[in-house]
Homo-oligomer: A and B are copies of this chain.
């Protein structure tokens, strides 16, 4: 009873098997140097005692953990499932385990990264400030960011090329025959939303099209904000655009709902296209065309790069192009 509670260590196995600690270690890590009988006897004892190596001791000695860390600030959003799944699989393919650190506390995060709790870190976490990022850039274990651009000796970034995404959306909509466009902004401080907008507008300009300010609506990445903006627009009686590009899917959905509730058919009168490909785009009616980041690809690339950095490679910036997922909310304009 009382000693049930003591943890079984390699020492216990050694004593029980009447053998030295190092011999037990050799048996467990099948270093081929032991007499077969001894080895078998030791393994038998270890099994009987349910011995499992203490990872703190082992990792300390090894100077490595065999674990990659994914540092998230939240897990509730629609992306995280897909992202972490893909990262999990990529880790497995590379012989690593995955641990997800859910934390908003930059100090904890730093303690875990610098403290060698894992061998490498994938970071999608706004909590980490620029000073700490500066440390990680050159010191400690390798890091890969998928939420910000930051390259150093020890850190890489794998980011969606938002500018390219904006361009692609423009080309996609132009090819469908649309001429008049509306853009729904994201959060104004958001870098990616800005890039998407720039790419979108630049590409339209190439086609000789400009978008006037009253066709650039507030969206704030939120369903409700977009809904309200579009509703207000409809009330103003201005001519409808042919197509609306929203800075993310949630605002695209809000916009689509506002059109529907305002008696405007999507996609017959107005096309709507979002960005991100969250699950909800498939569930609403009409389903929403979007351009996606391909999180699963991003996860795989992040892990691959991380492993390479662990093996000595230095950091770099990797950009990924998105792809458009056509759904019900867009269609060719009937002449």
Contact = CB atoms under 8 A, between A and B. Distances in A.
A225 B56 CA distance: 47
Number of identical monomers bound together in the oligomeric complex? 2
Contacts of A31: none
28 contacts: A4-B138, A7-B116, A50-B114, A50-B135, A52-B110, A52-B111, A53-B111, A54-B60, A54-B115, A54-B116, A55-B112, A56-B57, A58-B115, A74-B85, A75-B81, A75-B85, A75-B100, A76-B82, A77-B81, A80-B81, A84-B102, A85-B102, A88-B103, A98-B102, A98-B103, A100-B102, A283-B283, A283-B284
Nearest to A59: B56
Contact of A116 (B50, B55, B100): B55
Interface in A140-166: 140, 153
A97 interface: yes
A228 interface: no
A25 interface: no
Nearest to A88: B102
A11 to B, nearest CB: 14
Given A54-B116, A55-B115, A98-B103, 10 more contacts: A7-B140, A52-B115, A53-B111, A55-B111, A55-B117, A56-B57, A75-B80, A99-B101, A99-B102, A280-B283
Q: Which of A116, A280, A284 has most B Cβ within 10 Å?
A: A116
Nearest to A109: B97
Interface in A86-124: 88, 97-103, 108, 110-112, 114-117
A329 to B, nearest CB: 17
A26 interface: no
Contacts of A74: 81, 85
A139 interface: yes
